[in-house]
């Protein structure tokens, strides 16, 4: 029901206004206010929206830059890796680190001079024995100087030189016989070792094989040496045949070493790349330590546990010293072998943590390095401490390393190190439990130096025959060096036995 309001104006005029009219007028006022407020605040709201959009863009850009910064820091850390913080070889350290600033008031130690060092004993080459001297020249005055008498003592200077002709040529003549009745001609048979050798005899064949394998000489360089120094021209085809004969002569001793691998108590194993006609193959090295041990090489297309099973068998129960590559961990899971993972590789990875920018990761790496250093201080005192005392000290040092390694910060790099110790921690300490086991794989890595130089010079192999030659000559060179034998003499003996079909020499130690 509508109602009326009577209003009396100052002039006595009576105005009548209904409630609906007043309500309508208030709505119009409210709308006008809202419109005015909207018009007044519209620029501000627009500006706020623009600012919020800019803030959102800046936040997205900040997130992107943080991710980019983290990526760049990781890349910088990766590029800073060298042979001391990774498994990279020392030859990859192209840029040497700047020298550390000298602190303290002591005398600064400069770079050591070349040659003999103060306090070191002098090394003089021993003189040739009388049996080794071919010619003696005596020098004396025609007339004894006045006031002197001759002594049966001499000032001796020995001189070694190349002979004018460095090889001998032997002509083997086989007489022909003609049948008087039929006219048939027969020949006296030559000794088989002469026909099998052909133009190049055993010692010269051994020299060619040694130059090719140990001296990293190409066939062209060997050809130039023979032509220029020996005055003995040989074609590269002839040199290739000689090397293949030497390869065949070394095959039996190579097979003997391969058969002996599964019977070894301790083996260090490693692998490195090998190029062949643009393909990436792998050179595997097996090192049985000790002067009575041997080193064996094999080139294979695979870098997997299948190679380990092929050469060590699935029943191998010895100790394998190796790095942390997945092939060795798989071999560990599938066999009864015992591992000794390389501490040198692990220490380089831990050192890398100390170069990162993250403080928690860096502190973790430094704490772990301190515990590892304490462990190896105990290890190096094993010969000077009673056995029981040393075992207790080694156990405490081992537990300290494990305790520190298993408490990493929540960072990927530190967690990766901790994961190693959680899964395979016991296989880092085999060297503390089994005598004769080294904590590093350095012995096998040193064995690779010869073949890595050969790989860089020759650029790899071209086929199966070259592959087999490299395996055999590398094995002979490394094993002879390990056992203290002459590699040239062994190659020569093998070639002589191969030509004459006699029993071939062996690189395995004789049974007691």
Give the confidence band of 102 by pLDDT, cuts at 50, 70, 90: low
Which one, of 41, 44, 2, lies nearest residue 22 by Cα?
Answer: 2
Are the C-beta atoms of residues 285 and 441 closer than 8 Å to each other? no
Cα–Cα dist 387/459, whole Å? 50
Provide the 3-class DSSP secondary structure of residue 185. strand
Q: Per the structure block, which two tokens stand in for 119?
A: 């306090």
pLDDT tens-digit readout, 176-203: 999 999 999 999 999 999 999 999 999 9
Residue matched to tokens 């086991």: 437
Give this prediction's pTM.
Answer: 0.78
Residue 195 tokens read as: 């026909």
Q: What is the per-residue pLDDT across 105-150, written as a single tens digit (0 to 9) for each?
A: 445 556 677 877 888 888 888 999 999 999 999 999 999 999 999 9
Which residues, including other chains, have CB under 8 Å from residue 411's CB and lie 6 or more apart?
Answer: 358, 360, 361, 364
Distance CA 248, CA 289 (A): 27
Per-residue tokens: 184: 């048939």
CA–CA–CA angle 446, 452, 458 (5° rounding): 155
What is the rounded distance in angstroms from the CA atom of residue 351 to the CA atom of residue 78? 12
* Cβ–Cβ < 8 Å for 213, 254: no
Q: pLDDT tens across 281-307, in order? A: 999 999 999 888 999 999 999 999 999
Strand order in the sheet with 338-341: 294-300, 279-288, 266-276, 319-322, 338-341
- For 273, the enclosing helix (H) or strand (E) is strand 266-276
First to last CA, the chain: 130
pLDDT in tens, 479-495: 999 999 999 999 999 99
- Interatomic CA distance for residues 489 and 486, integer angstroms: 5
In degrees and rounded to multiples of 5, residue 185 shows phi and psi of -110, 130
List, for residues 251-275, the tens digit of each pLDDT value: 999 999 999 999 999 999 999 999 9
Question: Helices 236-260 and 202-213, interaxial angle, to 10°?
Answer: 80
Kindly state the helix (H) or strand (E) to which residue 350 belongs, with its residue range: helix 343-353
């Amino acid at each position: 029901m509508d109602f009326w309001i009577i209003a009396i104006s100052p002039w006595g005029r009576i105005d009548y206004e209904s409630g609906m009219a007043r309500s309508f007028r208030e709505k119009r006022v409210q709308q006008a206010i809202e419109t005015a407020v909207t018009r007044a605040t519209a620029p501000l709201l627009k500006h706020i929206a623009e600012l919020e959009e800019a803030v959102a863009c800046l936040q997205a850009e900040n997130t992107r830059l943080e991710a980019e910064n983290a990526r760049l820091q990781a890349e910088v850390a990766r590029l800073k890796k060298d042979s001391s913080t990774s498994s990279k070889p020392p030859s990859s350290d192209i840029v040497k680190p700047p020298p550390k600033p000298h602190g303290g008031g002591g005398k600064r130690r400069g770079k050591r001079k070349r040659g003999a060092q103060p306090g070191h004993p002098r090394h003089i080459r021993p003189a040739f024995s009388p049996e080794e001297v071919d010619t003696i020249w005596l020098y004396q005055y025609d007339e004894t100087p006045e006031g002197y008498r001759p002594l049966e003592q001499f000032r001796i200077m020995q001189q070694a030189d190349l002979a004018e002709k460095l090889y001998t040529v032997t002509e083997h003549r086989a007489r022909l016989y003609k049948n008087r009745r039929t006219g048939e001609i027969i020949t006296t048979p030559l000794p088989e070792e002469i026909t099998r050798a052909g133009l190049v005899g055993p010692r010269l064949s051994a020299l060619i094989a040694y130059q090719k394998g140990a001296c990293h000489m190409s066939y062209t360089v060997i050809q130039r040496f023979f032509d220029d120094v020996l005055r003995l021209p040989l074609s590269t085809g002839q040199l290739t045949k000689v090397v293949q004969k030497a390869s065949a002569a070394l095959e039996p001793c190579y097979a003997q070493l391969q058969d002996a691998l599964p019977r070894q108590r301790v083996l260090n194993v490693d692998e490195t790349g090998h190029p062949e006609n643009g393909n990436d193959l792998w050179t595997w090295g097996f090192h049985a330590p000790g002067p009575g041990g041997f080193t064996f090489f094999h080139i294979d297309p695979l870098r997997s546990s299948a190679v380990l099973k092929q050469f060590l068998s699935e029943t191998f129960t010895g100790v394998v010293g190796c790095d942390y590559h997945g092939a060795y961990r798989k071999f560990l899971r599938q066999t009864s072998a015992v591992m000794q993972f390389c501490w040198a590789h692990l220490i380089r990875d831990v050192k890398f943590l100390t170069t990162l920018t993250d403080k928690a990761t860096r502190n973790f790496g430094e704490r772990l390095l301190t515990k590892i250093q304490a462990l190896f201080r105990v290890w190096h005192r094993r010969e000077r401490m009673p056995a029981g005392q040393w075992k207790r000290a080694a156990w405490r040092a081992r537990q300290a390393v494990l305790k520190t390694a298993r408490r990493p910060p929540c960072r990927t790099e530190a967690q990766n190190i901790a994961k190693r110790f959680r899964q395979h921690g016991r296989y880092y300490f085999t060297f503390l439990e089994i005598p004769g086991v080294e904590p590093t794989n350095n012995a096998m890595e040193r064995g690779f130096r010869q073949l890595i130089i050969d790989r860089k010079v020759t650029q790899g192999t071209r086929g199966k025959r070259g592959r087999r030659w490299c395996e055999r000559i590398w094995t002979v060179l490394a094993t002879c060096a390990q056992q203290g034998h002459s590699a040239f003499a062994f190659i020569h003996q093998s070639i002589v036995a191969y030509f004459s079909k006699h029993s071939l020499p062996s690189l395995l130690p004789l049974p007691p």
